[in-house]
Copies of this chain bind each other. A is one copy, B any other.
Amino acid sequence: MLPGMSMLAISEVARRSGVAASALRFYEERGLIRSERTGGGQRRYPRAVLRRIAFVVFAQRVGFTLEEIATELAKLPEGRVPTGRDWQRLSKTWTARIDERMAELQRLRAGLTQCIGCGCLSLDRCQLSNPGDRAGRSGPGPRFWVGDRVPVTDAKR
């Protein structure tokens, strides 16, 4: 049965990635990773899954949702093991998004010292708090999600 064969059990993947086994099952359910199964139905992962998980963890730290990450990961080739170039292509998109996020933080930082610090801040006048994005999301759920935009509900009139 060619044991060893570099297929990893879930606990091994959990140990190596630092992501809980329950989270790995959850990621699989959400289509972020995939696994093969033994005859008895247990998950076995190829070593390459570790890089995929690494990407998920990175992307989360940057502030994106699992859904967004899943969308990005779906761009990786289905049939074959992704190459360095495949990853590089993904990385480029995400580098741009990180830069955006950093730019926003810089705006916030400026606003904090110049705007709140000095006392001019009033939110209905200060542009810094209101970076011209689309109007507030509809539907339930948190609106000020870290990666989200400030809802601009017609604060001017």
Contacts and interface: CB of A to CB of B under 8 A. Distances in A.
Nearest to A66: B144
A147 B64 CA distance: 11
A4 interface: no
A18 B91 contact: no
A57 B129 contact: yes
A16 B150 contact: no
A113 interface: yes
Contacts of A127: none
Contacts of A101: 105
A117 B84 contact: yes
Contacts of A74: none
A52 to B, nearest CB: 10
A57 B105 contact: no
A57 B112 contact: no
B150 A18 contact: yes
B18 A151 contact: yes
B98 A108 contact: yes
A20 B117 CA distance: 25
Contacts of A123: 16-18, 50-51, 53-54, 57
B98 A102 contact: no
A155 to B, nearest CB: 4
Instruction: Pick from A88, A104, A112, A144 the residue with the most CB of B within 10 Å.
Output: A112
